[in-house]
Amino acid sequence: MEQLRQQQENPAQRFDRPPVPDSGLYSFRNEHDACGVGLVADLNNVPSHKIVTMGLTVLKRLMHRGAAGGDPDTGDGAGLLLSLPDEFFRKHVKKLPEAGKYGVAMLFGGVGHEAEIEKIVAAEGGRVIAWRNVPTVPGKIGRAARETCPVIRQLFVGGESYADQSALERKLFVMRRLIEKTVPEAYVCSMSSRSIIYKGLLLATQLENFYTDLGDASFKSPLALVHQRYSTNTFPTWSLAHPFRYLAHNGEINTLRGNLNSLTSREPHLASELFGEDMPKILPLVAPGQSDSACLDNMFELLVAGGRDLAHSLLMLMPQAWGKNYHLGRDVRGFFEYHSALMEPWDGPAAVAASDGVNACAILDRNGLRPARYTLCKDGLFVLASETGVLDLDPADAVRKGRLRPGEILYLDLENHRLLLDGEIKSRVARRRPYRRWVEENKISVNGLFSEVTPGEVPGNLTYMQKLFGYSREDVEILIRPMAASGHEPTGSMGNDAALAVLSEKPQLLFNYFKQLFAQVTNPPIDPIREELVMSLLTYIGNPGNILAEKPQYARLVKLQRPVLTDDEIGRLEQIGSNDFRAKVLPMEFPAGGDGRMLERALKRLATDAVAAVQENNRILILSDRNPSPGSTPIPSLLATAAVNRALVNAGLRPGVGLVVQSGEVREIMHFALLIGYGATAVNPYLALQTVTALSQEGIIAADPVIAASNYINAVDKGLLKVMSKMGISTLRSYRSGQVFEAVGLSQELIDEFLPGTASRIGGIGLDEIAGEANARRKEADQSDNPLLPDGGVYQYRRDGEQHLWTPASLAAFRQGVQTGDYAKYKVYSKLIDDQAGHLCTLRGLFDFAETAPIPIEEVESVESIVKRFVSGAMSLGSLSPEAHEAIAIAMNTLGGMSNSGEGGEDAIRYTPGPNGEDRSSAIKQIASGRFGVTIDYLRHAKDLQIKMAQGAKPGEGGQLPGHKVDKYIARLRHSMPNVTLISPPPHHDIYSIEDLAQLIYDLKNANPRARVSVKLVAEVGVGTIAAGVAKAHSDVVLIAGHDGGTGASPLTSIKHAGLPWELGLAETQQTLVLNHLRDRIRIQVDGQLKTGRDVIVGALLGAEEFGFATTVLVCLGCVMMRKCHENSCPAGIATQDHELRKRFAGKPEYVMNFLRFVAQEVREYLAQLGLHSLEAACGRSDLLKMNRAIDFYKARNLDFANMLRPAMGPAIHCDDAAAKEPLENYDRRELLPELTKHVKNGKKIVIDRKVCNVDRTVGTELSGDIADIYGEKGLPEDTIRVRFTGCAGQSFGAFLAPGVTFELSGEANDYVGKGISGGKIIIRPAAEATFKASQNVVAGNVIGYGGTSGKVFLCGQAGERFAIRNSGVTLVTEGVGDHGCEYMTGGRVVVLGSTGVNFAAGMTGGLAYVYDETGDFDLRCNVGTVDLETVEHGSGDEAELLALLREHAESTGSEKAKAILADWVNSRPKFVKVFPVEYRQALGRMAREDAEAVDRRKEDN
């Protein structure tokens, strides 16, 4: 009855489209999800109901990794995959054939389409046995879930007619695909004779109550695969819950679009004897409207159905990194190399568990970015999950406690009752076929090809060609020259205030209309320098299309180590000569002066020619503009590439063809990235290489032409790695065709025709304008015989160059206005900025206000009230001088706004009033990836704790403060040493996924329950959904930063080409949050080149409540936009630590206050004009904005802001500050504080005992905060408060632990133990009852001690990846670590009494590590880029230190390993390797010298 009602409510529910239509800038395809996965199995392979129950328990224990949306009772999704419960079904369905001879489809919806479905089943040879209504209890689930709850049924299909169960499975797959294609009203969760899936839009706790089947004792399975979902958005659907047919996935596939594009290009080639005629029925393989995980599942399913086993298929899709830094067997390497040509990696953070209902396996991505811990018990019970401790097992039962390491796989062979580990599986799979020999015998080796770089030869018409392709002096001087001189991409500083390409009056290259996308929150960027080993630029020509077959000739490939080709290399490529790799050159050009139609015709011809060339057996196509014919204009290479690529894909010809682009346009890294991102195999930047040679020959750079050329190519390689890494993509093969760009200012028509799938949200120019700009370049080249190129003016102001907001005139008026308090002067400035009619720069410059009835200005909120909504941008002490940093804090505090500490800690003296009673403390304390100076004391002294996920000027990148900028003061605040380089990693290493962010937010709320938490994001397509995820993670504020935000140092590529204008990001965020009913929970802050009251008003109307200013604040203080912050040479004494230059600082807090009051005054004027009484009333009123049609600029004419300005309608369009926040619920309040608070106050010693389990997270952090409140940085004396825990600690155990607190844990712990530890002590050892050998098992998870500043951690057992990462002063001892141990460490001591993973000490610049190297091959796994390896000498200070640590470790943990080492010290000492950072050694030497000099001076004084 209940179901009948639902059916009436949802008559037309369809599963082939999103649950809500796209609206405004919101698009369903931007959703991300992440979560927790688990796998429970009985190696005895005995189906039991206990396993089902355990699966459900695991789910409940992972609930904190999931999320709920606007409706708190509706989860984002949960589900289980189980072996087909034959016994149970036999009870409910009569006349079932024997097990293995029938299949079951689990169906959502499809009511009324039974006949169609049955027809499909019958047509494929199946026999419809019965339909079964799956009993459900909708009363037990959330409202939103109930409203969309489909009818859930099972269809039983008899498969007696097939040869065997595999054939039945394949047919069930074909049937399912046909059902999906013909009955969009139905969703098939699973259709198999081996497995079944129960899932839904549920919270983990609701699953068993909703599906009563699961409670039935006869419902038995030997395995359960479970998944708890966290979707960024709140339109999760029933169908997108995991598991899918085979797998459950925690993480994100960053390369999805590229993978799907490649799949599309391969589909025409797919053929398999197993499928035979059925192949077309399952194509297209991937149904629309799916999540990344669902797509991965589809691909996996195909490979499995095609005959590969589970492990083989997973290894093909998610290969480990197999570059030279990995020590692999030759067969295994051969396996990966062979398959790398068949399939590009599906890349991104991922823990995947998969099962076919019989066996199961699990794998981790190559970077190890998701956790996966497992326990094997004596009785054969196996549990693997995102966390350990998800089942309460008797510690005495455990045989083995382990974890999946990066790229590792494990396999549960239930049929043979075995757990197979990584090495065995990979060797077995690698020897299935002679892959290694296939590769060796077929690889194309052309003598000398790509062995060394040959420089370009300077042609006579170099300048002409440069002009033809729009070169400016800046291109040569600022971009190419540093690349050729030093092999690095150039660096710049401050934000980008130049015109968007579509608003520029200068002819723009098509490249400039694109912006790079980047990873934030839902997936982490990679460090392309320190973690280069996981990345690869390797690429092939000649890839086979049919991935379902395995043939030796599939290894017949041209292998390119990098995608940049020199002239010489391209020449050789043309002459490989052998018949199977013939090359053909196709010119990219259209008639000079031709319009869009002529350009289109030329593109079509080029595409047709390309298809014909491939049909004539050419395997390498070279699209070239090298020899432009007279009377023609080059076609923008990106357009030509995309058009040809698309034509080849459509013709089913793409996979085997190498598409090489030979273009004079290409010079910057962005250009290469775009061409490859839209399908190019390789690129020959001949003109750039010629320019490099010319620079060398003219003596402008010191390098000779060969070195210069290889420098340039190296810089491009590194730059490409960086662009890929920003998106979290490891291999060029996955990046290709990935289209990870957003277009700004290109018309939808153009996008649909040539660049489909690319976001372009405000319309814009088409072929006519593109042709026009290309012709303009040609005309300029033809007409002018000036030997000089135009000056450019993009990076630096030039009078006849690109338009900028900051000009000499605007800056002068600004400076004079704020320094003298002259509002009229300020108005001169604001008019210059706001009135862009003559010099369009920004999108908001094209806005106008709607006509409304004004009100008298007296009725408008006061200046004093408005300025409270203003904050200053995050600028660290370190990037700024202390004088400037404090001046800003004082100004903001005086106004009642907030200043932002930036990343780099803060001097505790600033927490007390200054000499004149001024408040110098930064109200906003930033938590960035480097965690410099982030202590419990720092966190407690904040009003706002801001997590910086990305920075406008360089989203997806880390930072570096070079040693010479680190003086004593900075070093003290950052808990490092003077002159030691400090590196901030690209990602937060405790945030690889949205649920991790939720965890960090929780950590911070515990650290300082009084402060609000904000999350800083950078605008890009999809930022709205990420903001929704952030809101669901209980952040109080989300900051949307524009692409144009400032920086102290960033690669120019990033400043210029990454991120979107805030107008777009803000509008999308507002619309998405309102649509999701989340808007009232969270405040929106905006920043990015906010300059005037008008900017503030536009921001408010688009949805912002708070407004950030950074560049302007610096200009108030005297900044003159040198754009040289990265050189420490700031002439205004602002962005420098140089003591002489700092004396020049002449800024005053009053200047900043003048400015912000002027802005507020201007805001009032606009509010009055708009008839609004307050800024709050303006918030979200985008109906008051319209496009200013009076500005008639040819390129802007087709811009369409309708979607952007569409006001979001919902119950709340701004934050409801009055709404009660959920009170903080934590372990400390429950278990610790009641007893310990008085001891915190009186400082008396106490010891207590407590139990913990994995859901108890962030234990001890609020306690620590309370200690910091009273005692500040120094905390309590050691061991004042001791807590002895038993059990399995949840994440962030002892995070930010304060001095005086000691945590002893018997059991094990999850990730982030001792995160940010600030002086406390943590001891973890296995439970007393445990029988396994502690040193060979895992006792704590990943990222232990991240960003800790002081304190001690002793782990009796092994830890996971990234142990002691960004350690600034903590002492840690452990008995084995995973990959990337001691990464970015700048201080402290680490002792590892066992093996390490790869890349140990990457980017380590300070502190010391001692590694017990029993096998003598530690040096192979250590990244020796910044460190030296030494022995611990007998009688040395090192020895004494090490011995003391070993003794303390043995004493506190009872470590057998430590005892054994100590017992045989004479023989163990030589096995210790001391890891000594080079810079640290130098800094120590310098300090010793200075000390000696000081002693000498004192002597002299005496």
Neighbours of 1490 (CB within 10 A): 12
**Which residues 1193-1232 are close enough to bind other proteins by CB under 8 A?**
none
Cβ distance to other proteins smaller for residue 486 or 816 = 816
Sheet holding 1406-1412, edge to edge: 1246-1252, 1281-1289, 1301-1309, 1318-1325, 1350-1355, 1368-1374, 1386-1392, 1406-1412, 1472-1477, 1427-1431
Contact of 484 with 711, CB cutoff 8 Å: yes
For residues 305-329, b (16+ Cβ closer than 10 Å) or e, as one string? bbbbbbbbbbbbbbbbbbbeebebe
- Segment lying near other proteins (by CB under 8 A), choices 280-288, 793-801, 864-872, 1492-1500: 793-801
Among 1132, 1172, 1370, 1483, the residue binding other proteins under the rule CB under 8 A is 1132
Dihedral (CA of 271, 275, 276, 281) sign: negative
Among 165, 454, 816, 1174, the residue binding other proteins under the rule CB under 8 A is 816
Cα separation, 368 vs 569, whole angstroms: 36
Q: How far is the CB of 473 from other proteins (least distance, A)?
A: 7
Neighbours of 1262 (CB within 10 A): 23
Catalytic hit among 35, 1125, 1179, 1422: 35
Among 218, 272, 697, 807, the residue binding other proteins under the rule CB under 8 A is 807
**Which residues 468-507 are close enough to bind other proteins by CB under 8 A?**
473, 477, 494
Cβ distance to other proteins smaller for residue 655 or 1118 = 1118
Q: How far is the CB of 1458 from other proteins (least distance, A)?
A: 56
Query: What six digits make up the tokens of 149?
Result: 């709850």
**Which residues 728-787 are close enough to bind other proteins by CB under 8 A?**
785-787
Cα separation, 1361 vs 1342, whole angstroms: 5
Cα separation, 1123 vs 494, whole angstroms: 6
Cβ distance to other proteins smaller for residue 785 or 1222 = 785
Structure-derived torsion over alpha carbons of residues 300, 305, 311, 317, reported in degrees to the nearest 10: -30
- Segment lying near other proteins (by CB under 8 A), choices 482-490, 546-554, 806-814, 1010-1018: 806-814
Q: Does 1129 bind other proteins (CB under 8 A)?
A: yes
**Which residues 1138-1177 are close enough to bind other proteins by CB under 8 A?**
1140, 1144, 1146
Q: Does 102 bind other proteins (CB under 8 A)?
A: no
Q: How far is the CB of 514 from other proteins (least distance, A)?
A: 24
Neighbours of 629 (CB within 10 A): 9
CA–chain centroid gap for 777, Å, is 38
Contact of 474 with 709, CB cutoff 8 Å: no
Q: Show Cβ contacts of residue 835 under 8 Å, excluding neighbours closer than 6 positions.
A: none
Q: Does 815 bind other proteins (CB under 8 A)?
A: yes
- The single-letter DSSP state of residue 269 is G
Cα separation, 197 vs 213, whole angstroms: 12
Q: Show Cβ contacts of residue 619 under 8 Å, excluding neighbours closer than 6 positions.
A: 541, 542, 580, 581, 582, 583, 656, 657, 658
Among 461, 617, 820, 852, the residue binding other proteins under the rule CB under 8 A is 820
Among 809, 850, 1420, 1444, the residue binding other proteins under the rule CB under 8 A is 809
Cα separation, 1409 vs 1430, whole angstroms: 10
Q: Show Cβ contacts of residue 701 under 8 Å, excluding neighbours closer than 6 positions.
A: 481, 484, 485, 695, 708
Q: How far is the CB of 1046 from other proteins (least distance, A)?
A: 11
Q: Does 811 bind other proteins (CB under 8 A)?
A: yes
Cβ distance to other proteins smaller for residue 44 or 1129 = 1129
- Segment lying near other proteins (by CB under 8 A), choices 405-413, 796-804, 1182-1190, 1486-1494: 796-804
**Which residues 1089-1128 are close enough to bind other proteins by CB under 8 A?**
1118, 1120-1124
Q: How far is the CB of 1391 from other proteins (least distance, A)?
A: 47
- Segment lying near other proteins (by CB under 8 A), choices 366-374, 746-754, 789-797, 1382-1390: 789-797
Q: How far is the CB of 1118 from other proteins (least distance, A)?
A: 8
Cβ distance to other proteins smaller for residue 12 or 788 = 788
Cα separation, 250 vs 1087, whole angstroms: 32
Q: How far is the CB of 1323 from other proteins (least distance, A)?
A: 53
Among 98, 273, 616, 800, the residue binding other proteins under the rule CB under 8 A is 800
Q: How far is the CB of 1150 from other proteins (least distance, A)?
A: 15
- Reported as type and span, the H/E element at residue 141 is none
Cα separation, 701 vs 834, whole angstroms: 42
Q: How far is the CB of 512 from other proteins (least distance, A)?
A: 20
Q: Show Cβ contacts of residue 1379 under 8 Å, excluding neighbours closer than 6 positions.
A: 368, 405, 406, 1361, 1362, 1397, 1398, 1399
Contact of 232 with 1076, CB cutoff 8 Å: no
Cα separation, 829 vs 1159, whole angstroms: 11
Q: How far is the CB of 1206 from other proteins (least distance, A)?
A: 37
Q: Does 796 bind other proteins (CB under 8 A)?
A: yes
For residues 712-741, b (16+ Cβ closer than 10 Å) or e, as one string? bbbbbbbbbbbbbbbbbbbbbbbbbbbbbb
Question: Which residue reads 């040569």 in tokens?
Answer: 476
Of residues 46, 50, 15, 43, the one with CA closest to residue 185: 15
35 catalytic per annotation:
yes
Cβ distance to other proteins smaller for residue 122 or 702 = 702
Number of chain residues interacting with other proteins (CB under 8 A): 38
Which three-class secondary structure state does DSSP give residue 364?
A: strand
Q: How far is the CB of 1120 from other proteins (least distance, A)?
A: 5
Cβ distance to other proteins smaller for residue 695 or 1102 = 695
Cα separation, 189 vs 196, whole angstroms: 8
Cβ distance to other proteins smaller for residue 162 or 471 = 471
Among 797, 992, 1303, 1480, the residue binding other proteins under the rule CB under 8 A is 797
Cβ distance to other proteins smaller for residue 490 or 1300 = 490
Q: Show Cβ contacts of residue 1278 under 8 Å, excluding neighbours closer than 6 positions.
A: 1299, 1300, 1302, 1321
Q: How far is the CB of 799 from other proteins (least distance, A)?
A: 4
- Segment lying near other proteins (by CB under 8 A), choices 441-449, 640-648, 763-771, 790-798: 790-798
Q: How far is the CB of 464 from other proteins (least distance, A)?
A: 14
Q: Does 819 bind other proteins (CB under 8 A)?
A: yes
Q: Does 798 bind other proteins (CB under 8 A)?
A: yes
DSSP string, 910-956: GGS--TTS---S-SEEEE-TT-TT--HHHHHT-SEEEEE---TTSTT
Binding string to other proteins for residues 700 to 719, with x set by CB under 8 A, is what?
A: x-------------------
Q: Does 791 bind other proteins (CB under 8 A)?
A: yes
One-letter amino acid at 333 equals R
Cβ distance to other proteins smaller for residue 825 or 910 = 825
Q: Does 695 bind other proteins (CB under 8 A)?
A: no
- The single-letter DSSP state of residue 1230 is I
Cα separation, 397 vs 376, whole angstroms: 8
Cβ distance to other proteins smaller for residue 624 or 819 = 819
- Reported as type and span, the H/E element at residue 770 is helix 767-783
**Catalytic residue IDs:** 35
Residues of this chain that interact with other proteins (CB under 8 A) are 473, 477, 494, 700, 785-788, 791, 795-800, 804, 806-809, 811-812, 815-816, 819-820, 1118, 1120-1124, 1129, 1131-1132, 1140, 1144, 1146
